[in-house]
Amino acid sequence: MDTLTHALSGALLARVIAARQVPLAAQVLAVPGQGRFAAPWDGQPGAPAVWQLVLTGFLAGAFPDIDAVMQQFGDLAYLRHHRGVTHSLLLLPLWALLVAWLMSRAFAVTRGQRAGWKSLWLVSAAAIAIHIAGDWITAFGTMLLEPLSNARFGLGSVFIIDLVLSGTLLAGLLLAAIWPHRRWPALAGLAAACAWVGVTWVGQQEALEVGRAQARTLGIADPEVQVMPRPASPFNWTVAVSDGSRWHLAHVNTRRSEPLVAREDDHFVRRFSAPYLPVAMAQWQVLPRHTAADSPPWVQQAWRHEAFGFYRWFAEAPALIRAEERTNGNGERERCAFWRDLRFEWPGRASGPFRYGLCLGENGGARPYRLDDQGPQAL
């Protein structure tokens, strides 16, 4: 899920926690030490203002994505560590402590009186938790048990950018600003977001049934069915059925009875949604999985090589792109095979991310490569 949506979810959850506190307008306009309300920096250190709680929730909700810095250390570091330790349920209390302490110090610098870190810890922990949940519902996979285990978990029902989900969170925050004394606006925003995730789960179950039905049609006794959420609708899915060596793949909308026609000047939602056909009209493609029927034996060797273990661990729906023999920059002959992960490729996307391969050298060496629009890039 995108970082802004994470931040909105953290802020909204903080607004639920802070709903019974003094509204922001009253805090800002109050005369210090007079009247019913006191300015937030004149109160007790352990009693943060609503705006402090909401800002803490906003930043804590975005905090786990700080691991994007791993991209600076290369592709392999990013694949191995993104959604890792900063997304761990086991380490969540420590991250919440760090965020709460930093925010208390920031409030001290900007307002002369900081809210005690203990009073900010609950909001920080809740915001980080809802961030982890927000990533768990998408298809990338989240390492919830780091550092004890690098197993990836994910519901996989929500597309990585979901405008409806983001909109419900934003609407909840706006309603909470209009009715600052009430808890129901923030709760309604969270409830609407949860209900939307429920709708995507229903779409996921329908897509799984499409895959199982196709497996029965093909006579695949023990199929692996992968379903991948797609943009614009909770009922747009890429369905992939594996018979062990091949993927049978189709882009479908599980609720559509007629194809959707989109022109170039139509709005982007319609254009993104048009490629997903009614189930009865699905166009099934056949793609090689680890190796193609006519691939030489070394392709399977490359896939199973220990130097390529990072991609076998990461890719849930790998598909062979190509296999080739070539001469590298040092004049050595190499045999190279490249794969993509079908989770990250959909109609209209020229080339997806997370395409990797392995080249086997004549001297027995092996080197992983990233495949982009400019060709193979050594890692």
Confidence check: pLDDT of 33 > 60: no
Q: Is residue 250 part of a domain?
A: yes
Q: Is residue 19 part of a domain?
A: yes
What local confidence, expressed as pLDDT, does residue 264 receive?
85
How far apart (Å, rounded) are the C-alpha atoms in residues 371 and 351?
10
Confidence check: pLDDT of 39 > 60: no
Whether residue 230 is found in the same domain as residue 349: no
Whether residue 9 is found in the same domain as residue 151: yes
Which residues neighbour 191 within 8 Å (Cβ) at sequence distance 6 or greater? none
What local confidence, expressed as pLDDT, does residue 113 receive?
57
Instruction: Tell me the two tokens of residue 127.
Output: 């915001």
Q: Is residue 168 part of a domain?
A: no
What local confidence, expressed as pLDDT, does residue 260 receive?
94
Over residues 181-196, the pLDDT tens digits come to 888 999 999 999 999 9
Whether residue 108 is found in the same domain as residue 250: no
Q: Is residue 80 part of a domain?
A: yes
| Prediction pTM value | 0.89
Q: Is residue 200 part of a domain?
A: no
Instruction: Please give the tally of structural domains in the chain.
Output: 3
How far apart (Å, rounded) are the C-alpha atoms in residues 371 and 140?
19
In the chain, what are the helix, strand and coil shares in percent, each to the nearest 5?
45, 15, 35
Whether residue 104 is found in the same domain as residue 131: yes
Would you place residue 111 in the very low, low, confident or very high pLDDT band (cuts 50, 70, 90)? low
Bridge-based pairing of strands 277-278 and 246-253 is parallel
Whether residue 84 is found in the same domain as residue 142: yes
Whether residue 284 is found in the same domain as residue 302: no
Average pLDDT of the residues in 238-248: 96
- E strands of 181-278, at which residues? 224-229, 236-242, 246-253, 277-278
Give the H/E segment covering residue 205. helix 184-218
- E strands of the chain, at which residues? 224-229, 236-242, 246-253, 277-278, 285-288, 318-327, 333-341, 356-361, 366-372, 375-378
Confidence check: pLDDT of 364 > 90: no
Residue 147, preceding peptide bond in cis (omega within 30° of 0): yes
Domain limit, last residue, from 116, 138, 155:
155
Q: Which residue has the tokens 């490569």?
A: 369
Instruction: Tell me the two tokens of residue 123.
Output: 């909001």
Domain limit, last residue, from 288, 306, 338:
288
How far is C-alpha 87 from the geometric centre of its chain's CA atoms? 11
The pair phi, psi for residue 310, each rounded to 5°, is: -60, -35
Q: Which CA distances in Å does 31 have to 38, 62, 127, 177, 182?
A: 6, 33, 31, 22, 24
What local confidence, expressed as pLDDT, does residue 305 receive?
96
What local confidence, expressed as pLDDT, does residue 116 receive?
80
- CB contact at 8 A, 159 and 344: no
The pair phi, psi for residue 57, each rounded to 5°, is: -65, -40
Residue 302 sits in which domain range?
A: 297-378
Least confident of 190-199, 301-310, 343-352: 343-352
Question: Given phi > 0 = left and psi -120 to 50 = alpha, else beta, which region is 301?
Answer: alpha
Whether residue 138 is found in the same domain as residue 67: yes
Q: Is residue 234 part of a domain?
A: yes
Q: Which CA distances in Å does 182 have to 9, 10, 220?
A: 18, 18, 55
Q: Is residue 315 part of a domain?
A: yes
Whether residue 36 is found in the same domain as residue 151: yes
Q: Which CA distances in Å does 218 have to 22, 43, 211, 284?
A: 63, 70, 11, 11
Over residues 310-343, the pLDDT tens digits come to 999 999 999 999 999 988 777 788 999 999 999 9
Domain limit, last residue, from 271, 288, 305:
288
What local confidence, expressed as pLDDT, does residue 67 receive?
95
Whether residue 31 is found in the same domain as residue 98: yes
Average pLDDT of the residues in 68-81: 90
Q: Could you tell me how many residues make up the chain?
A: 379
Whether residue 51 is found in the same domain as residue 125: yes
Whether residue 133 is found in the same domain as residue 224: no
What local confidence, expressed as pLDDT, does residue 180 receive?
85
Whether residue 267 is found in the same domain as residue 312: no
Q: Is residue 173 part of a domain?
A: no
Q: Percent of the chain having pLDDT more than 70?
A: 91
What local confidence, expressed as pLDDT, does residue 71 receive?
87
